[in-house]
Chain A
Amino acid sequence: MDSTLFIAWTMVAAASLTLAVVHALVWLLDRRRVDNLAFCVLAVSVAAIARIEYGMMRAATPQEYAEWLRWIHVALFFVALGLVLFVRLHFGSARMWLGWTVIALRGVVTLSNVLGPAGASWAVLRVDQMPLFGEYAASGVGAVRPVQWLATMTSILLFIYVLDAFVPLWRNPDREVRRRATVVGGGIVAFVLIATIQPQLVIWGVLHMPIMVSPAFLLMLGVMTYELCRDIVRSAGIEQEARRLRDDLAHIARVSTLSELSGSLAHELNQPLGAILRNAEAAQLMLEHKAPDLAELRAIMSDIRSDDQRAGAIIERMRALLKRNSIELHDVPLQPLAREVLALVHTDAAARRVTLDLAVPEDLPPVAGDRVQLSQVLLNLLVNGIDAVSESSRRRVAIAARRADERTIEVAVADSGHGIAPAILPRVFEPFVTTKAKGLGIGLAVSRTIIEAHGGRLWAQNNLDSGATFRFTLPVAAGG
């Protein structure tokens, strides 16, 4: 059985089935990719056609030949179905009524061939054994029945349907779309044409050779696969790009928040630096004495060390905030995080006489998140809160956190300001929506992106008495 024909047609069937499996997997992994499912149907049908064609070539009698013919119609129905859907789903430009007509007519032809007597559309009278690739293959000779007119018309309509779907793409002003239309559309159209013409010529008695459409269909599958893979690769690229943009935006937001805070950061740094300076000056003066107080000098040295560490911690916090990094999930205990962020805004708040409250229980389990990004969100919300109350009589901003349920922690940042105007409330998380004269309007948008990237939600509401509360949820860390 190891003939060239057997090997060639088995390979066509195997290649089609492999493609079918791959695309079935793609569809299973992402159910929105229905075009991959259509492709899968198409590829399975092509494999079936390859098998049937091989059976026809090996047929010894007209009866045997006609029996195979009956089944090739079933496969052709699914080829038509798969192709019509694929072109529609993937290129979106097809006339669907034309597609449905093709499928319906193909259905009628298939039904009459499967349910009716053998050779409903083409009555095979005899089979000739003719040479092919150094072997003999059966080639049918017969009479055309009326149903065949319908079958031929269906094939022409299918060709028109495909051609029609690509014509607008060829006219598209976008070069990339035109290129795609030429390569993919041209490939599909050409192979559909070949696969349509060859059997028609055989059936109508113009060509005297075995029916061989599966190789052309396989090439068409190749073109489609190329297109689909490019799509998947491209969408992965887009996702990566989107992630990079999100990180960039978060970075910009951090920098702009920091520049708003830079005054108070300088103030905060000058605190320990000033203490170090004064201590060093004092020590210098004390050393000029004949009997310096060593205990006091030791106390000075230890104060200098801890103030140096304090300054270092401030710089470290700033650096961490400025660093451009993507999300890294760790177990993050909320209380120390909130304390750190409060320390960042403490000076600014004190200068504007805003009282900051912290109500995060010590025994709250850690959340799964990225320290830097979460502190970015808290910082944004706090700075907003401080801005919101700095004009009002009651100046209070509070951070609170609680366990909402087994797997969720809810954090709230509440202020006692004037609240958010109802007109703006639904839009506060949109980028570039701001009520601040110098604000960019990206803080809340970035905050929401960050929280959603953590699998949480961020929303805002006005309080019953005064001010607004921003709440967000975060997942409890796996161990918590």
Chain B
Amino acid sequence: MSEPIVRVVDDDGSYARALSRLLTARGYQVTSYASGAELLAQLSSEPRGCVVMDLHMPGMDGLELQSELARRGLRLPVVFLTGAADIPSSVSAMRGGAVDFLEKRAPSEQLTAAVERALASDREQREVRERFAGLTERELEVLRHVLRGRMNKQIAADLGIHERTVKLHRTAVTSKVGVRSVAELATLARDAGLV
């Protein structure tokens, strides 16, 4: 299992370098990129860690990069940095799922805390996804139907299987994921990005 990486994206080379040094000194694994395009080109399909990026960048700006990551199904938590925060862009950043929105000169503790939160959120997402990873194709199919709120009888009819088989699949899902209620299952499935 590889280390989680903090990816710094900033067109201002000097700031990117300084931030990378600080985060490295704090013990993080850091790589830095001069643009969103550079990050996207070098990202693996199953990246771990988070992205700390400048909001204002020429070419692809921070918000565009955020939505491009989401479009590609890369669920890396994002921390935004900006020279001077303005309300409209911070609102759309948070709406896009940003972990935090900080000024470039924010206190180091705030910055570290934001990175920590981002990494923690990445870790949780991963754990949840791993819990769902053990499910078979058929169990996943049943799970999707359950999450849509369908009765066992309907699911059995849709999938062309016996109602008792559906019940067996459901039990397998709840025990593999480790939940007791459908509500809990729904929350975790959303965190794992299944819905």
Contact = CB atoms under 8 A, between A and B. Distances in A.
A275 B14 contact: yes
Nearest to B17: A303
Contacts of A353: 61
A271 B104 contact: yes
Contacts of A279: 18, 21-22
B25 A274 contact: no
Interface stretch (A1-9, A168-176, A281-289, A378-386): A281-289
Contacts of A264: 84
Contacts of B58: 346, 350, 355
B57 interface: yes
* Chain A interface SS verdict (over half): helix
B19 interface: yes
Contacts of B105: 270, 273-274, 277
A303 B25 contact: no
Interface residues on B, range: 20 to 34
B163 interface: no
A282 B25 contact: yes
Given A350-B57, A353-B61, A306 B14 contact: yes
Interface in B4-51: 12, 14-15, 17-19, 21-22, 24-26
A349 to B, nearest CB: 8
**Most chain A CB within a 10 A radius of its CB, from B22, B61, B86:** B22
A279 B84 CA distance: 19
Contact of A266 (B26, B56, B84): B84
B92 interface: no
* Chain B interface SS verdict (over half): mixed
Contact of A278 (B15, B82, B84, B86): B15
B108 interface: yes
B19 to A, nearest CB: 5
A366 interface: no
B83 interface: yes
Interface in B52-71: 56-58, 61
A285 B25 contact: yes
Interface in A306-358: 306-307, 310, 346-347, 350-351, 353, 355
A271 B83 contact: yes
**Most chain B CB within a 10 A radius of its CB, from A263, A270, A276, A303:** A270
Given A268-B83, A285-B26, A350-B58, A300 B15 contact: no
Q: Which 10 residue pairs across A and B have the least CB separation, nearest first?
A: A267-B83, A274-B104, A278-B18, A282-B21, A285-B25, A270-B83, A282-B22, A279-B18, A275-B15, A275-B18
Interface of A: 263-264, 266-279, 281-282, 285-286, 296, 300, 303, 306-307, 310, 346-347, 350-351, 353, 355
13 contacts: A263-B84, A267-B56, A270-B105, A273-B104, A273-B105, A274-B103, A275-B19, A300-B18, A307-B18, A350-B56, A351-B56, A353-B61, A355-B58
Given A279-B18, A350-B56, 7 more contacts: A264-B84, A270-B105, A278-B18, A278-B19, A286-B25, A347-B83, A350-B57
